[in-house]
A = this chain, B = another copy of it.
C-alpha cells in the first residue's frame, strides 16, 4: 500500500487520482501539489487527500511518500523527475516523457543513475481492449505485424498550456502523437528498432504557432510501418482508434465513439457526455467507463504491482525516450520534407536484418502468390514459375 504524491491538479491529475482511489483500491494519494495552493487544497478536499502544498520539493520529499506521480505540464517534467530521483522515490511520469529526445535522455540517465523505479505513464497501451489485443498478437493470431495505425483526434485540448509551444514542446504531435507512436511500437514489437520517419503537419484551423494536425509513418527494422494520425481539428468528439494488420490477421479497436453504446436524446441531460463530446442532443456516444477505457486503471495496477514486486513496468522511461526520439525525427521530417532517421544514443532491442517475404511452394515448379474464391464457386490460384518468374493463374475446380 504505497503512499503517493500527486504532482498536478489538471484533467490528468484528476483522471490519475480517480484511477488510484477507485473501486475498493488499497492505494492512497497522500499529498497533492499544485503551483497554486488554492487548487491543491480544493483538489485535496475533493479526493480526500491528507495534505496539499504549493511547494514541489515538499511534496516530493514528504517522508510518507514512496511514489511520485508527475502530472505536470511538459516543461516541468525534468525538474520534478530530477528532484524525485534525488529523493530516492519511485517515479511515474506522464506522457510525453519530455519535450525532446535530449531532454528525455537526461531524465532517463537521472533515474537510472539514482537506481529508482521509473514508469512511463503511457495509458493508451493499457485499455483492457488493447491489453487483450496485444495478447492475441503475441500468441500469433496475426502472424507477423506489417502495419499499425493509431489515430487520436479531437477538437483540441482543454488547457491553455498545451497550446503554448514553449511549455508543451510542440502541438498535436507532442500531445497525442506520443500515444499513437507507442501504441504502434507495442503492436509491432518493442524489440524492433524504429529506423526512420516521414511526417506531414500543418496548422489547418487554430490560430496557433504549433501544428494542429499531423500524419506520419515510422518504418521499423523488420519492414513494418507504424502510422500515426493526430489532430486538434476533428469534429464529432474524440476519435480514438487503432488498426493492426498482420500476415495472418487484423485487429480493429475503437476506444471512444463506437463502443456498443448509442444514445439518442431530443432533450439532452444537462451535463457531461464524454471527454471531448461536442453535442448534447441527437445521437450521442458516451463511454461507460472512461477511467478504465483510457487505460488509467490497468496502468496503475501494472505500475504499482511492478513497484511492489520489483519487476519493471510494462512501460519504462526508456520507452518514453524512444518515443521522444521518434517525435524529434518527425519534426525534422516536417522541415526537410523527407524521411529522417530516428537517432537513438542507445538501442536496447534486437538488431534485425530487415523483413523478408515468406515463400510458399505451390508445387515443385511454382511459388503460390495467392488463392481466391470466385463468385462462381471456383477457386483461382495465382502462381509464379520458379525458374522463369512468369506469373500464371489456374482455376481449381473443387
Q: Which residues of A contact B (CB under 8 A)?
A: 14, 23-27, 127-133, 135-136, 139-143, 146-147, 153, 155-161, 163-164, 198, 200, 202-208, 213, 215, 217, 219, 223, 225, 227, 231-237, 239, 245-255, 258-273, 275-289, 292, 297-298, 300-301, 304-305, 336-339, 355, 357-359, 367, 369-370, 372-377, 380, 382, 384, 391-393
Contact = CB atoms under 8 A, between A and B. Distances in A.
Contact of A267 (B140, B260, B377): B140
A136 B254 CA distance: 22
Given A262-B252, A264-B250, A227 B206 contact: no
B140 A269 contact: yes
5 contacts: A158-B382, A159-B393, A207-B369, A215-B227, A235-B246
A277 B373 CA distance: 8
Contacts of A131: 288
Contacts of A155: 370, 372
Contacts of A279: 266, 281-283
Nearest to A386: B207
B281 A282 contact: yes
B128 A292 contact: yes
Contact of A264 (B236, B266, B286, B292): B236
Nearest to A212: B357
Contacts of A158: 372, 374, 380, 382, 393
B370 A206 contact: yes
A128 B249 contact: no
A212 B350 CA distance: 26
Contacts of A259: 129, 259-260
Nearest to A155: B370
B136 A265 contact: yes
A273 to B, nearest CB: 8
Given A276-B372, A286-B132, A223 B235 contact: no
A393 B160 contact: yes
Contacts of A215: 147, 217, 225, 227
Contact of A271 (B139, B249, B252): B139
B288 A266 contact: no
A62 B234 CA distance: 54
B200 A219 contact: yes
Contacts of A288: 127-132
Contacts of A130: 288
B247 A225 contact: no
A52 B153 CA distance: 51
A358 to B, nearest CB: 7
B261 A129 contact: yes
Contact of A156 (B147, B157, B254, B382): B382
